[in-house]
Amino acid sequence: MNPLVTPDIGLVFWTTVSFAVLFFLLAKFAWKPIMGALDERERFIEDALSKAEAAKEEMSRLTSENETLLKQARIERDAILQEAKKVKDQIIGEAKDAAHKEGARQIELARIEINNQKAIAMADVKNQVAALSLEIAEKVLRKQFEDQGKQDALVADLLKEVKL
């Protein structure tokens, strides 16, 4: 028989002993560190996955919070714009009212000034008419009293009318 095909009992024994020693040495010194490293790597991966999940949840929460803040900011912006529009409309309305009042006051002042000027002009016209009337009357009377006889007749008539 060929020794390579059918091994000898001593070869089997020493192969088994050397395998057992190698197995014992590997179990004692290599498998524990390898298994520890694998366990540590597994824990690291699980920890990284849980941190990634927590980060994903935090991002989701922050995104939701950001959207809420954006909605609130838009609502506040719209409220501020509406308030500004109300204030603008109020200021414009007040300015229009003030302008109308000022215009009416100016018109009334102009009307009063016109009436005053008209009264002054009328008084001036009356004074001029009175002066002209006196001047005309004086000229008429001088013309009429140039004759001494007419003067004596007028004085006599006036004396008759006056009763003491």
Amino acid identity for residue 127 in this structure: N
Q: What is the pLDDT of residues 11-20, one digit of tens each?
A: 889 999 999 9
Confidence (pLDDT) at 163? 64
Amino acid identity for residue 144 in this structure: Q
Beta strands in 116-159 (DSSP E): none
Q: What is the pLDDT of residues 115-149, one digit of tens each?
A: 999 999 999 998 888 888 888 877 777 777 677 77
Q: What is the pLDDT of residues 141-152, one digit of tens each?
A: 777 767 777 777
In the block, residue with structure tokens 């005053």: 116
